[in-house]
Amino acid sequence: MFIQSRISQVFHNAAEIPFNDHSKIVIMSDCHRGDGSYADNFAHNQNLFFAALTQYYHQGYTYIELGDGDELWENNKISKPLEVYDHVYWLLSKFYKEARFYMMFGNHDIVKGKKSDSFRNQLIRCDGEPDGLCYSIFPGILFHDGLILRHTDQDLKLFLLHGHQADFFNDRLWWLSCFLVRFLWRPLELLGVKNPTSAATSPKRKKSVERKLIRWVEMQ
């Protein structure tokens, strides 16, 4: 019952985004932007991601990041991803300035929700000069646990969440998971070993999360 009430909490607190048949929305999840090292799973896909998102930007799409956009279990600060993927955050900031970017958090970047004010203050860029200006790339941005897309004509609602809320270990015990990933799996990843415990790589765990989410839907 705890899992069901947790998902309900996210649903009732979720902000609504109106859309219609003419809206253009693209949703991506689990980018895991890291530090550019061998353990950084985003490094091999950065060019594809940037090219695709550039096209979506020019075509007028709204971009929703469904959580785990940044890898903040392996990295204790956002400063390194900001440095390595400066071009990516520059593009995201262009979406945001035009009110076309929504950032949700997952388990690997749950700190955005737990410490939103302090994290928001870390999202800065500087012009590179010794006495140059530094500025926020996402001024006043909100970090969402869940979102609802509401069709304005049909009153249809689409509930968006990352999914970790249906996994007690990754939701309530996220700090323990973070510790294990940062100090155990990250060193192993640098040696080429992949984490077998995540839902993405564990079919059994993935099905367990899916069953809990389906059960919640059936109870509504």
Q: Give pLDDT tens digits for 158-195.
A: 999 998 887 776 767 766 776 777 667 666 665 555 65
**Location of structure tokens 């060019």:** 47
Residue 206: predicted pLDDT: 79
Total number of domains in the chain: 1
Q: Which residue has the higher pLDDT, 117 or 187?
A: 117
Q: Compute the mean pLDDT over every residue in the chain, rounded to the nearest whole number.
A: 87
Residue 163, SS3? coil
Distance CA 27, CA 92 (A): 13
150 lies in which domain range?
Answer: 2-219
